[in-house]
Amino acid sequence: MTLFVHPTPLRIAIIGGGFSGSHPGLAFRATFILDPERTFRVVAGFDYMVLVGQQRIEASGFSFYAKHTVNVPAAVLGFEYAYANLPLAKAKAYAGIDIRNTFVSGTFHKTIVYTNFKPFKVDEEEFTTKESVSRLGMGLRLGVEGELSPPVTINMCAGYSSINLFNPNTSGSRGQLLTPTVSEDFDRVERILGNLSFTMMVQYKF
């Protein structure tokens, strides 16, 4: 997250947003086998990821703490092709492609600690950022699945997905997709965003 202090008048301005490092998420999948060899599969599911950016500013007389949280759930529908049989655990290597409808909503929590008071004076506020939106994107992935103990299998994959590939907001009315505010200091036309993910799932075959 990018913040700066206006000295006159004294105020905190939120001009951008950043989410560094890795972020947790959950993935749920239902796989429908289309042939006896398990080569072709249709996959439907739900992903849920939480992005958190935090920053602190220390200044004369106060400390400012900011936390920007964005919830990113997505409905997923895709297709997988198992292109290779592996020698252990009846494993298969596969490639997949999916279409995903992603919903984006955020909250901003700020805390100001006035250090020139004894005891310190603390002001806290939490509010919703820009309006919630949905975006249509696409994902690609490569993975391996194998039997752990029948009928339980383990599925590990790495993928790259674009959140807003098909319908970014190009009007400039909302700014960038994940930033907490709309700012004149940055490009207001929404850019295409993507993320790299690593997933491990335990699956049960019915």
Distance, in Å, from the CA atom of 174 to the CA atom of 190, rounded to the nearest integer, reads 8
CA dist list (Å): 178 to 47, 128, 194, 195: 17, 13, 12, 13
Say which amino acid occupies 63: S
How far CA 104 is from CA of 20, 94, 118, 135, 162, in Å, comes to 18, 29, 41, 8, 13
Closest by alpha carbon to 99, among 48, 68, 51, 135? 135
| Own/partner pairs, 155-158, CB within 8 angstroms, 24+ separation | 155/29, 155/199, 155/200, 155/201, 155/202, 155/203, 156/198, 156/199, 156/200, 156/201, 157/94, 157/96, 157/198, 157/199, 158/196, 158/197, 158/198, 158/199
Q: How far apart are CA 74 and CA 7, in angstroms?
A: 41
| Whole-structure pTM value | 0.80
pLDDT in tens, 6-63: 444 445 555 555 677 788 899 999 999 999 999 999 999 999 999 988 888 887 888 8
pLDDT tens figures, 108-148: 888 888 888 778 788 888 888 888 999 999 999 999 999 98
